[in-house]
Structure 1
Amino acid sequence: MLLSLSWLREFVPYEGTAQELGDRLTMLGLELEEIVRPYDDIASIVVGHVVECADHPGSDHLHICKVDAGQGELLDIVCGAPNVAAGQKVPVALVGTTMPGGLVIKKAKLRGAPSCGMICSERELGLTDDHSGIMVLPETAVPGTLLVDTLELDREVLDISITPNRADCLSVIGLARETAQAFGLPFSIPERQCVEDGPAVELPPIDIRDPDLCWLYTGRVITGSSIAPSPMRIRHRLHAVGVRPISNIVDVTNYILMECGQPLHSFDLDKLEGGRIIVSRAADGEKFVTLDGQERTLDARDLCIRDAGRAVGLAGVMGGLNTEIDENSRNVFLESAVFRPGTIRKTSRRLGLSSEASYRFERGIDQQRTRWALDRACAMMAELAGGKVCPGVAVAEPRPFAPVLMDFRPARANALLGVELGADFCERVLSGLGCEIRHKGESWRVAQPSWRPDLTREADLIEEVGRMHGLDTIAPVLPPIARDLARAGEPESRFAFWSRIKRWGAGLGLNEAINYSFVGHKDLDHLGLPQEGRIAIMNPLSAEQDALRTWLAPGLLNSLRNNLAQGAAGLRLFELAHVFHARPLEDAHDTGATETGKIGILLYGARYDSAWPQPEGDMEYTDLKGVVEHLLGFLHLSGARYRQADDHPFLLPCVELMLPDGAGEVQAGVLGRVRQDMADAFHARKAIWLAELDLEVLRRLHDATRVRFRALPVYPPVRRDITVMAAPQVQVAQIMEHVRGLRLPLLEDEDMVLQDCFEPAGGDERNLTFRLTFRHAERTLKDAEVDKEREKVAQSLVKHLGVRV
């Protein structure tokens, strides 16, 4: 919303700077985007007085003018405009001036005549598109003064970002009301008296076919209007706030729109067939040409304004070309209405047609001021176009405005905000907002003002008094959190379980990624994921986000690509989120989606940060497996088994994580390397190691785990290494499982680890070195006892697995 500072001051006597106003509005939730100075490009243009004007002897259209520009001497300026004449006050660009289009004015000779400046047209000044002749200023203009001062042009315009709930601030009056509240200033609206001095005419009857879509429709007739350009003050004010001036009648509707927030539309009354107005839905496939000259195809969801035989307007969005105001229009039917916001929003988005009117109708209109805005516009039209306002108003209001009644408790406001506001302050703020306080006590009864459709409950009123107090002035104090011992031992919540895993990931040195739940079908197709079970988005924000994710991998891989584009050499990411799969609907309230919690882990690039003096090397499968095993240890889950998956859409090699579950096993996730042909699309030049685990399975197994405690060992351990020479098909897990199955009394099988793996070049065996830990609970072991136990392990491996030791 562009706010003219001079326009604002017509309603509130604010004398501060634009920056001070913008800063205060920002703290009230109306953020200042920037301060625009729309006429800086013509700040050096001065007023000139054409003293003499003679035809150029060497041209049939040029004129040689002597101009008093307040420089102490008359300037010779050659001008080609057909309307230049002696005695005029005109805008003059002096030598050295840079025009809005970039042209620099220099001394020149035109057909032999010297020219020391330029007399400007409105288009050359960037004010309008009019280039039919030079701009003629009022007789009261003083030569040598700045043009922007003479025309009282807006030096500063604030660009205010309005949140969707604050429809009341999409007008100068709405922002003036906020300014008055913020600075404790009086607020008043200068009245425009609408005089019904026109002839009595039969007003068009209003027929609203669907009262749910149109809550109020009013209209007036103005006769005898003369279509012409608006006065300079109106045109320049509209130009300053980004609205293109067109003609006096149309400019008035735009002026009231920006001033009051009420969209209006003017019809050429003589072009309305049958002398009636019908508000009804469009027919499927109906064609309609809007004011921009584009033919639109409508359907039954769109609301139209019709005369007796055809559509003449797209309700709340744009009028029709068939009834537009042109230079021949004399009689005007002016519309002021209130439509259901959702209907206007859907039509505007479906047709890709957004206007200043639809932008406001989508957010809500002040229904109580709709008739008032109509009368205000009629008064301006009568003044600017010379028309006569006919007696009477055509009105249909199937849904009168009824304010929402809310309870407000000052004590509750103090408790929520954490400050003592005082009942007098709360009353002053609510009254200043326009609320009606109908009852006071411990609980007040407050009626909503018609221009604040966002105020519907007590929390909204508390927010308002907090805003005016200054949310930025409330000291940030963390609330005390007390845990009741009576709840000790209750099952851990899902949130607490996920939070604990997030702390684990951060503590391990992984960076948490948070990605959208939306991905693209093309992302899922690229990873070879099946079409079955996908949930497509009916109204996606973009083509890249048209489906709900079925895996976390697409988001993590896109995060990798973004980080690589920023020059990252290595990456360690984890993400906890839901994935979604379609399933049959079970009842009317079912969403048809299954949400499963997953944790994704991605490792890429260098194992160590370059800042640390560590050996060089890239991360590999053992790093990923180590992270997964660390997570399992954190959750007290043991007995994990890894088996190679024969076929996976995007991991090669791929390993399935199997965990014991009662008498059997359950798959808890997969881990492996992203296929290189797929990794190339994410700009990866090294291996991408990725794991995706099912949090629902991990949580269930974690809850079933019973942690047991035992005394710490007193006597020292004795460790021995054993190297096994085995064929490639003998797996490490198979060897460790066999050793643990021996259940030797002195062997601590939980501490058995693989120390080294060596594959001799050209050999058909690999050397696996394991470290065994021996300990006795009641005494210190002797070397002979340990060697004997080690020998038992060696002989058993040779006998049962066919390896060499």
Structure 2
Amino acid sequence: MLLSLAWLREFTPYDGTPQELAARLTMLGLEIEEIKNPFEAIMAVVVGRVLTRQAHPDSDHLSCCTVDVGGPAPLPIVCGAPNVAAGQLVPVATVGVTLPGGLTIKKSKIRGQASEGMICSESELGLAEGKSAGIMVLPETCAVGQALPEALGLDTCVLDVSITPNRADCLSVLGIARETAMAFDLPLSLPDVAYAESGPYAASQVAIAIEDPDQCPVYRAKLISGVTVGPSPDRIRWRLLAIGQRPISNIVDATNYVLFELGQPLHAFDRAKLAGNLIQVRNASEGEKITTLDGQERSLTARDLLICDAAKPVALAGVMGGANSEMEAGSTDVLLECAIFRPGAIRKTARRLSLPSEASYRFERGVDQVGSVYAMHRAVSIMLETAGGTAAPGEASAEPKPFVARAIAFRPARASLLLGVAMPEAFCRKTLAALGCAVTDTDPSGVAAVTPPPYRLDLEREADLIEEVGRVYGLDRIAPKLPRVAKSLDDAAPETEFAFWARLRAYCVGVGLREAVNYSFVGHGDLDLLCLDAACRVPVANPLSEDQNVMRPMLAPGLLGAVRHNIAQGNANLRLFEVARIFTADPEAPSTAREAGRLGIALHGARHPEGWPWPKDETAGYADIKGLVEGLARHFHLPEAAYGQGAGLPWLAPHVTVTLGDTFLGCIGQVAPETADAFHARSPLWIAELDIDALRRLVDARKPGFTPLPGFPPVRRDITLAVPAGVTVGAILGAVREARSPILEDVLLIDAYTPEEGGDRRLTFRLTYRHPEKTLKDKDVDKAHEALAQAVLAKLPVTRP
């Protein structure tokens, strides 16, 4: 919003600099984007007096003038305006001045006569649209040599204020004046709106009918007769120009002036064009049409709100007036509309029709219903002053939904708690009162009742009031401090399914898998390839296609289909995962189908990414997919799972089951070659599918434990064993742990080597030792290390090479 500083000072006597005002308003939440002079282009234009005027000797329409501009000597100026005359005060652009249109004044000779300046018209100065009939003649109150904007009292300081959507009250000069008066402890005054009324009462001449009070809580109309439509006075025209508005006529300019001054949109109808003595506010019929002031025919829906007379729609409520009721040069009678509309309805209409306006911008955010009465009278007083005429006594109105003030409970102690800094009760009361709130005395429990003013529609709850106190205090003065959060792990709420699935996805992405998202529908053909029992299938009544005619009973068909699609697109190195639900037939379930969560993993192609230096040409294998499952258990702090040979899935060879204690988690395996061929696999295809509902139950059952961080350094020793075929790494790790050395902290396989000539594998393990109460000495570690080695050698058929 553009705010004229001179206009602001008519409401509150602020005498500081624009920069000081901008800084304070910005800290109050009304950010100042720019401070500018809208008349910068004519600041060098000065007031001159025409001393002499003579006809040009070589032209019948030019005049040769001498003009005093306050310099050492009068300037010779050739002027082509028919209304130039000696004795006039006129605006003069001297040599070197560039006018708004881009014309730079230079010394010249016009048909042989010297000219050292230009006497300007309003259009040449950017003070009027179109081409002016003659030069601008200034009032005698102007001083020769004075800068033109200063002489005319133009608003040369305008602040561009960024208004947040919740602060609809600041979309006016009055709204920002309230903030200024509060911030600098200044008085606030409103313009006088007294005017005479005569004739029949307005309510006896026009009736108001509102179809839906929720759409239009109040509609008021003032009647003015005998007006003369014409240009507005200079002070109104130039003020509107300063804030970027185009002056139109004295009647329309009065409504725009009040819109920006008080924030209340108004509309002036030509009463002679209104049929009957009735104004109706109703929703449009579907497909109903209206031609708006911009000349465009608009097709409406039943959600659009209309203003109608007894026969036809005359305005699109809150957005734009109709072309069939606009004020024109010959109009003499005015019906001035002042209403409140539901913000949501106006916003939807304006957006749907791509018809934004200053009025709809304010209606969308909320308008002061109580203050609208004053705004209406203010507009009437300006119209009577600038266009003449007579106002009918009273008003025609309907207010089916009067404004009801709301009281909000406010606790100063709560304000101090939320803001993190002490807010004395006296300061809170003073601040809220300065904002226009009515504050009752605080009761013994420390609660006060605060009634916001009707123009602060954003104040709905205690937190809003606390925010107001905080911003007036100065949010920049409140030091940032993280709040202390105390949480009992014993009473912690269980993790939601959504959060658990999010953690599961995070793990999979973290280990380099890419997520696949497949339809919940698969085809019977794919399920037949996987030899799945038809009894568990849930058919789709109206399938999208034959390939999607059954709900998936497991994730494997979708993942294998994703593998087939990627291979067909030339992407053969795949590490995919999917977290989703499966569906199996269950006659006892309410929907005859039972849902369960599953995690599916598929590996195909190279083990290492493209460009991996060494080793090359290795394909993903059992160790890779088993390692992902083991890592998942570690990620959720679960004990190691047990792996066994499974049965019942002939399309997996090998088929490995995964169990954790007594809980069956799922299976791992390589897709059988004949099945893998059906999905275009070019290398071993490995797949895993885990029951994440069971996994979640195991995770929820675990209780977090805490141990102190180690205070002493670790000592590491390596041991290499010759391991014959048939002895697993797991057996060796188990033997090490069974030895139960008190200082053994961890054991890890770090290397595996198989001789090319055959023979036993060479496995190297790294053992970490640490004492909880002291730094270990080499002799202590050597003794424990040798004891562990002997225990393993005694338990397993392994040797130390």
TM-score (norm: length of structure 2):
0.70
The aligned residue for residue 219 of structure 1 is: 221
Question: Match of 1:424, SS?
Answer: helix
CA 1:293–1:743 in 2, change beyond 3 Å: closer, same or farther? same
- Report what 2:69 is aligned to: 69
Q: Aligned to 2:385, what secondary structure does the other structure show?
A: helix
- Once the two structures are superposed, the pairs formed by residues 712-731 of structure 1 within 5 Å of their partners are 717-720=718-721
Distance 1:658 1:137 in 2: 98
What corresponds to 1:389 in structure 2?
391
Q: 1:632 to 1:279 in 2, by over 3 A?
A: same
**Secondary structure of the equivalent of 2:479?**
coil
Aligned CA distance change for structure 1 residues 783 and 475 (closer, same or farther; 3 Å):
closer
SS of residue matched to 1:367: coil
- 1:773 corresponds to which residue? 765
Shift of 1:277: 0.7
- What is aligned with 1:145? 146
2: CA distance between counterparts of 1:194 and 1:598? 79
Per the TM alignment, residue 501 of structure 1 is displaced from its structure 2 partner at its CA by: 6.9
Going from structure 1 to structure 2, the CA distance change for 1:437 and 1:125 (only over 3 Å counts) comes to same
Secondary structure of 2:371's aligned partner? helix
Superposition deviation, residue 314 in structure 1: 0.6
2:754 and 2:285 mapped to 1: Cα distance?
Answer: 77
Q: Distance in 1 between matches of 2:58 and 2:761?
A: 106
Rate the CA distance shift 1:751–1:126 in 2: closer, same or farther, 3 A: same
Q: Is the 8 A contact 1:46 1:69 kept in 2?
A: yes
Match of 1:451 in 2: 455
Letter in 2 for 1:426: C
Amino acid in structure 1 at the alignment position of 2:73: E
Of 481, 484, 488, the match for 1:480 = 484
Q: Which residue does the alignment assign to 1:569? A: none
| CA deviation after TM superposition for structure 1 residue 254, in Å | 0.5
Q: 1:272 aligns with which of 274, 295, 308?
A: 274
1:121·1:130 contact (CA, 8 Å) conserved in 2?
no
**In the alignment, is the contact (CA less than 8 A) between 2:222 and 2:395 conserved in 1?**
yes
Match of 2:472 among 468, 471, 490: 468
**3-state DSSP of counterpart to 1:336:** strand
Give 1:331-370 correspondences, 5 Å limit.
331-370=333-372
Q: Secondary structure at the match of 1:779?
A: helix
Shift of residue 103, structure 1, vs aligned partner: 2.7
1:414 aligns with 2:422: no
Confirm or deny that 1:633 pairs with 2:634.
yes
State how far apart, in whole Å, the 2-side matches of 1:124 and 1:299 are.
45
After superposing the two structures, state which structure 1 stretch, 321-330 or 47-56, moved more. Answer: 47-56
One-letter code aligned to 1:19: Q
- Give the aligned partner of residue 12 of structure 1: 12
Shift of 1:97: 1.2
CA–CA distance in 2 between the matches of 1:408 and 1:458?
6
Aligned to 1:192: 193
Q: Which segment drifts farther, 465-474 or 390-399?
A: 465-474
Contact 1:198 1:223 in 2 (8 A): no
Alpha-carbon distance change, 39 to 739 in structure 1, aligned in 2, over 3 angstroms: same
**Post-superposition CA distance 1:309-355 (Å, at most 9, x none):** 11100111110111111111111111111111111111111111111
Query: Do structure 1's residue 398 and structure 2's residue 390 form an aligned pair?
Result: no
Is 193-202 or 264-273 further displaced after alignment? 193-202
SS of corresponding position for 1:368: coil
CA contact under 8 A between 1:227 and 1:247: conserved in structure 2? yes
Report 1:129-208 matches (<5 A): 129-133=129-133, 134-197=135-198, 203-208=205-210
CA apart distance, 1:216: 0.7
Going from structure 1 to structure 2, the CA distance change for 1:440 and 1:81 (only over 3 Å counts) comes to same
Q: Is the 8 A contact 2:225 2:389 kept in 1?
A: yes
Structure 1 partner of 2:257: 255
The Cα of 1:274 is off from its aligned counterpart by 1.4
Distance 2:702 2:98 in 1: 80
What secondary structure sits across from 1:375 in the alignment?
helix
Instruction: Indicate if the aligned counterparts of 1:747 and 1:772 stay in contact, CA closer than 8 A.
Output: no
- What is the distance in 2 between the residues matched to 1:472 and 1:193? 44
Amino acid at match of 1:145: Q
Amino acid of the structure 1 residue aligned with 2:26: T
CA distance in 1, matches of 2:615, 2:366: 61
CA distance in 2, matches of 1:497, 1:325: 62
Preserved contact between residue 344 and residue 358 of structure 1 (Cα < 8 Å)? yes
CA apart distance, 1:421: 3.2
Displacement after TM superposition at 1:409 (Å)? 2.5
- Say whether the 8 Å CA contact 2:158–2:242 is kept in structure 1: yes
Distance 2:714 2:442 in 1: 73
Q: Cα deviation per residue 1:403-443 (whole Å; 9 max; x = unaligned)?
A: 01222233333333344433332332222222223454332
In the aligned structure 2, how far is the partner of 1:757 from the partner of 1:150? 100
Within 2, Cα distance between the matches of 1:400 and 1:422? Answer: 36
- How far 1:529 sits from its partner (Å)? 6.3
In the alignment, the residues of structure 1 paired with residue 596 and residue 127 of structure 2 have an alpha-carbon distance, to the nearest angstrom, of: 58
| Code of the aligned partner of 1:424 | A
SS at match of 2:375: helix
Q: Report the alpha carbon displacement of residue 229 of structure 1 after superposing the two structures with TM.
A: 1.3
* Counterpart-to-counterpart distance in 2, 1:279 and 1:67: 59
Q: How many residues align?
A: 653
Between the two proteins, what is the percent identity of the paired residues?
48
The separation in 1 between residues aligned to 2:600 and 2:300, in whole angstroms, is 47
Aligned AA (1:635): F
In the TM superposition, residue 257 of structure 1 has moved relative to its aligned partner by 0.5
Q: Distance between the aligned counterparts of 1:766 and 1:130, measured in 2?
A: 101
Give the conservation status (yes or no) of the 8 Å contact 1:220–1:390: yes
* 2:284 alignment partner AA: A
For residues 266-317 of structure 1, give each alpha carbon's deviation from its aligned partner in whole angstroms, at most 9, with x where no partner exists. Answer: 0011111113211111110011111111111111101100011111001111
Deviations 1:467-520 (A, max 9, x none): 222222233344334445xx4475665699889979x99xx999xxxxxxxxxx
Conserved? CA contact 2:258–2:379, under 8 Å? yes
C-alpha displacement of 1:753:
5.3
- CA 1:664/1:777 → structure 2, altered by over 3 Å: closer, same or farther? farther
Greater CA drift, 230-239 or 457-466: 457-466
Q: Distance in 2 between matches of 1:218 and 1:460?
A: 31
Structure 2 unpaired stretches of 5+: 523-578, 583-594, 602-607, 644-655, 669-688, 739-745, 768-783
Is the contact made by 1:599 and 1:694 (CA closer than 8 Å) also made in structure 2?
Answer: no
Which protein is bigger by CA-based radius of gyration?
Answer: 2
For the pair 1:34 / 2:26, whether they are aligned, the reply is no
8 A Cα contact 1:217 1:338, kept in partner? yes
